[in-house]
Amino acid sequence: MADNKIKSFIPEAGTCVPWKIKKEEFGKLAGNEEIVKNSWEMLDALAYAFIWFWVQR
Amino acid sequence: MSDKEKLFQERFKRYTVALECGKPDKVPVVFPLGEWVVKYTDATLQEVYYNVDKSNEIIARTIRDLDFDVMFGGLNLWWPPMFDGIGCKLYKFPGIYFEENAGFQYVEEEYMKAEDYDEFIANPTQWLATKYLPRICEEFAEPGSYRAIVALIKGAAAFAMHNDKLAKAGEKWAKEYGIVSAITGMTKAPFDTLGDALRGTKGILLDLRRRPDKVLAACEAIVPHNIAYGMITAAGDTSLPCFAPLHKGAYPFLSLEHWEKYYWPTLKAVIEGLWALGKRTFFFAEGDWTPYLEKIAELPDKSIVFCIDLTDAQKAKKILEGRFCLYGGVPTTLLTYGTPEEVKDCVKRAIDELGSDGGFVLAAGGVVMGDAKRENILAMIEAAREYGVY
């Protein structure tokens, strides 16, 4: 991110920062990508639910 | 398997067979939680709103000796500390703004302006995060400031903490009392998402005249989000229906022409989208939906549970029976103003008229309010067991 790798994107429903965007920013992952991906998506979904919570009253 | 776990399995089967329009061994009966419970305790509404553990203890004491299958509702819809932490303007709760036994109030405004439509439609999630949240939260007035960062941490932490407490309470009630939750997850009609919390009632009604294309485009932009939100808040569960409290679609809030053009197509798309993922919608039709029953019948078989509040029950049965589970039968007003004998008569009539062939869940027709009488609620579930055996 320090190298201005952040891209402009429109997140699809259910996501805030989709894994495919974040993966590009990470570049090649040295370890198990699936573990990183699953955790990323779990927290991303929580953030998404938090943002939309305020209009789903 | 413990006796309570067996009881849970028995009740779960009873409920889900009815959801599938089948005939279980008994008519499933729903216990309606609500603020009415609090007045039979020594706690204040403020305590129940703020103290989730105390609230859960009260619920446990209330339900542990009762015989019912499914539980719906809660003692409080919202956890005020989460709103306090970010300075949220959407609600006022007892404690800060009201005395400790007053219910909460929603403060409706045009939090989304007419000129925001295009930006919202282009990227709804980003617009909500960057424009909407700072408008509804006083602590976010200067995004990036110390106060805003601290508030965001508090808000997100409170959201996770509260959800965790609710999930654990549900697991405990299932395990220790054999109680099934009526729903998992929540969604809305896109028109309600737009009209309730974004444009407000006045705003969206003016928009139907002044910028109808924007309303349509915004509702269409919301559809995939309301499908995703339903699945995420259900944690992927597809065994129980997704709660959809429906507001501005009740007759006669909109004209038939407006309902058919602006309300129904995107609600239908959300329901069909959830159904494609295996998730049934809890069509919580507050108010009267009688004129729309034929349109509702266009939905895929079994894709909804249709809740009867003020909708003509006989017409609902005639048009929807066998294709969708019917839910309700007891008017909430009767639970407040009626007598136990009247409630029992009503339950018998509802089971005879709506439940004789299965596909029916006996419940209050809407949200049971704070003025309901305990003796009437108990009469409802006792009568359901007395008359509801197939």
CB contact under 8 A, A54 and B197: yes
ipTM confidence: 0.96
Q: Tell me the residues of chain B between 86 and 105 that have a Cβ less than 8 Å away from chain A.
A: 88, 90
pTM of the model: 0.96
Q: Which residue from B190, B279, B215 is spatially nearest to A13, judged by alpha carbons?
A: B190
Question: What's the angle, vertex CA B268, arms to CA B249 and CA B234, rounded to 5?
Answer: 95
The structural domain count of chain A equals 1
Give chain B's end-to-end CA distance (angstroms, integer).
27
CB contact under 8 A, A52 and B229: yes
Strands B105-106 and B91-92 turn out to be antiparallel
- Residue B160 tokens read as 């996770």
| CA–CA distance, B40 with B205 (Å, rounded to integer) | 41
| CA–CA distance, B216 with B265 (Å, rounded to integer) | 10
Question: Hey, is B202 helix, strand or coil?
Answer: helix
Report the pLDDT value the prediction gives residue A2, as an integer from 0 to 100: 47
Task: Identify whether the C-beta of residue B119 lies closer than 8 Å to the C-beta of residue B43.
Answer: no
Task: Identify whether the C-beta of residue B246 lies closer than 8 Å to the C-beta of residue B189.
Answer: yes
| CA–CA distance, B320 with B294 (Å, rounded to integer) | 8
Q: How far is CA B41 from CA B44, B62, B79, B273, B379, in A?
A: 8, 10, 19, 43, 19
| CA–CA distance, B60 with B64 (Å, rounded to integer) | 6
CB contact under 8 A, A47 and B198: no
Contact residues, chain B, for A49 at CB < 8 Å: 159, 229, 232-233
Closest-approach residue (CA) in chain B for A48: B125
For B314, counting Cβ atoms within 10 Å of its Cβ (0-12 exposed, 13-18 middle, 19+ buried), the class is exposed
Question: Hey, is B226 helix, strand or coil?
Answer: helix
Closest-approach residue (CA) in chain A for B154: A50
What is the DSSP annotation of A19-38?
HHHHHHHH-S-SS-HHHHHH
What is the domain range of residue A48? 1-57
Amino acid at A41: E
Task: Identify whether the C-beta of residue B323 lies closer than 8 Å to the C-beta of residue B304.
Answer: no
Dihedral sign of CA atoms B19, B21, B26, B30 in order: positive
- Residues of A in CB contact (< 8 Å) with B are 10-16, 45-57
Q: Other CB atoms closer than 10 Å to residue B25's CB: what's the count?
A: 12
Contact residues, chain A, for B128 at CB < 8 Å: 51-52, 54-55
Q: Which residues of chain A have pLDDT under 50?
A: 2
- The C-alpha of A49 sits at a distance from chain B's nearest C-alpha, in angstroms, of 6
Q: Which residues pair with B328 in a beta bridge?
A: B308, B362
- Can you give the pLDDT of all 390 residues of chain B as single tens digits? 889 999 999 999 999 999 999 999 999 999 999 999 999 999 999 999 999 999 999 999 999 889 999 999 999 889 999 999 999 999 999 999 999 999 999 999 999 999 999 999 999 999 999 999 999 999 999 999 999 999 999 999 999 999 999 999 999 999 999 999 999 999 999 999 999 999 999 999 999 999 999 999 999 999 999 999 999 999 999 999 999 999 999 999 999 999 999 999 999 999 999 999 999 999 999 899 999 999 999 999 999 999 999 999 999 999 999 999 999 999 999 999 999 999 999 999 999 999 999 999 999 999 998 999 999 999 999 999 999 999
| CA–CA distance, B14 with B293 (Å, rounded to integer) | 26
In the block, tokens 């309010």 appear at: B369
CB contact under 8 A, A54 and B160: no
Residues in contact with B363: Cβ distance below 8 Å, sequence separation at least 6, in sequence order? B29, B30, B32, B70, B72, B182, B307, B327, B328, B329, B330
Q: Other CB atoms closer than 10 Å to residue B201's CB: what's the count?
A: 14
Q: Tell me the residues of chain B between 190 and 219 that have a Cβ less than 8 Å away from chain A.
A: 193, 196-198
Range B249-277 burial, b when 16+ CB lie within 10 A, else e? bbbebbeeebbeebbbbbbbbbbbbbbee
| CA–CA distance, B311 with B331 (Å, rounded to integer) | 10
Whether B233 has its CB under 8 Å from any CB of chain A: the answer is: yes
